[in-house]
Structure 1
Amino acid sequence: MTAQDYDAIVLGAGAAGLMCAAVAGQRGRRVLVIDHAEKAGKKILISGGGRCNFTNIGTAPDRFLSANPHFARSALARYTPADFLALVERYGIAWHEKTLGQLFCDGSARQIVAMLLEECARGGVDFALGRPVGGVEHGADGFRVAIGGGRDVPVTARALVVATGGPSIPKMGATGFAYDLARQFGMKVVEPRPALVPLTLGGDDPFRALAGVATPVVARAGKTAFREAMLFTHRGLSGPAILQVSSYWRHGDPIIVDLVPDRVEGWLREAKRATPRAGVGKLLAGALPQRLADALAEMLGLRGELANLSDAKLAAAEQALAAWRFVPNGSEGFAKAEVTVGGVSTADLSSQTLESRKVPGLYVIGEAVDVTGWLGGYNFQWAWASGWAAAQAL
């Protein structure tokens, strides 16, 4: 590679970076994408069980976490799920809605990566893959990026887009590079922590024997609740409901779980009056998986027939089942986290363009920003929307 001037250099060949590069390239900008990975879109390929949950038709600003809950509103409004879906359909990619507005490829996530690369090709985007960034400098004429560990001639551009994500899933090559670069240029970073991640319960977990059992619940962390499935694991709790609340959970706080969300207050006492000779275990198994029902009956001291249990004991059991208190001792960490909460502070970025307020020409997009979506395609939609918004300003 010879020394060349670009209009923009995009650091990161993930969802946000590819989107930004493709749109900017098709707007006539000369763009270079740099990534230390040998291939583009590695995290896209493993998403959604290999089928890529590429957006969510229920996307709205209130489904994203940020120190500034209004920051994402502008980008999300200007590039919507319908816009990305139109692109998917233009490429003839078959898709389906799974649940709760989640859109998946019928085939493979490779189709989404291929689509984005073709969009980049149409924009004449250059790539430098398998090339780590050695350093970034900023001067009056723009940005100078050393790539390939110093073996290559540095490249320059008037604009630099940081799309290197957060530290979630380090085995895929994820790092905190975006945060280091932001700090280098005097920008603040909101403390990053694992999100959409299983929670651990510690050595005295009485539910460990139930690993593999799943049940529909309403899980709550603070004031935020989600109704989806919860899965017991050898280390604690997982499943969509737990992954969702994990983004809101703070160490030391409890997770409150309604284990019987379809049962109304008084259901056990009513059953006692209707079928006094019914066994408690059998009754609980009508609302819960058998292994979980048996374990809970034992923990709550519910043995024998309903007729032999006082209304007060049954009322206490109802309350316990509707608000079971788990106190996680931690999470599975960035290794198992799907995304990162926190990141480059939105206070230092324009919500319209994602450009730094402190360094003209520097943009931060995607997961690197302190904007984190719910489980279910929201984070991809933020990647598309933030990448598109930055590309309009390049």
Structure 2
Amino acid sequence: MEKTNLTGRIVTPGDADYEQARTNNTLNNPKFPKIIVFCQKKRDVLNALNWVKENNMPFRVRSGRHNYENYSLVDGGLVIDVSEMNTVSVDCKNMTAKIQAGADLGKVYNILWENGTTIPAGTESSVGLVGLTLGGGIGMLSRLYGLTCDNLLEIEIVVSNGHGKAKLIKANKNKNSDLFWVCCGGGGGNFGIVTSLKFKVHPISTVSIFSIIWEWEDFEAAFDAWQNWAINTDIKLTSEIELKSREVNQIIAQGEFVGPVTKLKELLRPLTETGSPIKVMVREVPYIEAVHFFDEPSGNVPAYKKRSGSFLNKTFPKRAILIMKSFLENTPNGKSSIWHQSLGGAVRRIRPDETAYYYRDAIIAQEYLANWSTPDEERKNNQWVEDLRNALLRYTTGDYVNWPDRFIRNWPTAYYGGNLNRLRVVKREYDPFNLFKFPQSIPPFISWF
């Protein structure tokens, strides 16, 4: 059999741009790949996968470089990077968009906006759309339009094909439907290498946004008011609240309403009348300005960070709120926080087994964030996150697969809940030799005869 050659833009350790090419958004656990292939077209992806099969070399798949545990890198192996395949084309007649797998959210939002459309997706512009989608995809339009994966119509994906050559196939609700199912919440890098995604898009023009800031003394009242309000308000309104450390002394609620500012001001009364907000901003803006408002440009700067998370199926009692308060009074540094986003609405209209994304009944997604400056601070920050997650376990469930955490012991169930077995069965069908593997990849289902 003829040997495969690697094609695309190839970077190796001796190259001047190797350091930039190998660095991910997260600086913890640095990895040093032997080869990084920046694919320019589908053939490059097929060649790269065939090459690693022939050479028995470990590999990982990468797009946006935002995997919190650096699972998209591998020491001494090959990285198949699709970030340079990033074309976005919009079909306004059929209200669909075809987006290559390397496109980041910033590019996607801008091109869709130029066509008067959008998809519900995340808030950080440097995040890769494909990784976000494969894990589910939550953001400021979730309650109105669902998760990012709920708006996915079709994918093109390169699969291993057992002993044979890798092949490019399409998956949608009618063709390879089980593979399409797993790609709606089953996480990235588990089943194949997605090369493009087709979405239904939504018309958008202006939206109303808000930001309310309280100080520490309103911690309990502000969070309790937000959690009871956010999940019951108009489904055109999706919101978030970030509880900063006592040192920073801020509780910040923000959100986006697809409707007029007069209506949003009315909807916000339960929040604006709670405690003593030090700042209230409510305004109507072109949608793309809202995208910029919620963006975190610093998210693209490589940094030391730890993330983990969970879901809430019911609102927190006072004791759970006080646990969060206690942890934020005792952070390793002032850069730790706890972030929440409201769910429900369109997210909840889909059954937990209809897509691989299991946590349909959750009312809130909760993320634990720690950041630090030097490698020797890593242990205490990791410990703070783990202790916090454990302290809240009796009030929470699971974890969002796009916030991977290597310290979660029962991670398969935490990420996939009751959908785990079906994911493992599909894994056996499309990747029977477990070629796509990393420390928290889905293991194939093994039958004993």
TM-score, length basis structure 1: 0.29
TM-score, length basis structure 2: 0.26
Rg bigger for which structure? 1
Q: Which has the higher contact order (CA 8 A, sep 6+)?
A: 1
